Amino acid sequence: MHPIAGIVVVEPMKEADLDRFRRQLDRLASELRELEETSKPSVQPVSLDQASVGRLSRMDAMQAQQMAVETARRRREDLAKVAGALRRIDNGEYGICFACGEPIDIRRLAIAPTSTRCVSCADD
């Protein structure tokens, strides 16, 4: 045994842990896709016909519309993050910090499975 100072051995994540994260991410992806499906009608253009707007004023309808667009945009971003995490699992890069190359704490991943940075490199 000749331990070399300063060299950190990056332990690959256990297969069982990877499987667990893969299932968690798969579930997250299908939830997001489902939400995308069910919320489609609200992303339709705002009708200018007062009658069909009902009790909502046009202004309210347009604000609701903007929120729906924003929500949909965030959902697409989340979906892209989940897809990226699944890709990293396949590539064997999952759980490694983008910034420093150290393993990301598994407890952090359990809360935020799409994390690409460890706690010390996180900017969020």
List residues binding Zn ion (CB under 5 A): 97, 99-100, 118, 121
49 and 56 Cβ atoms separated by less than 8 Å: no
**Residue 67 half-sphere exposure, CB side, CA atoms within 13 Å?**
6
Q: Minimum distance from CB of 34 to Zn ion (Å)?
A: 33
Pick between residue 49 and residue 124 the one whose CB is nearest to Zn ion.
124
18 and 94 Cβ atoms separated by less than 8 Å: yes
The 8-class DSSP code of residue 117 comes to S
Q: Minimum distance from CB of 105 to Zn ion (Å)?
A: 10
Q: Minimum distance from CB of 103 to Zn ion (Å)?
A: 9
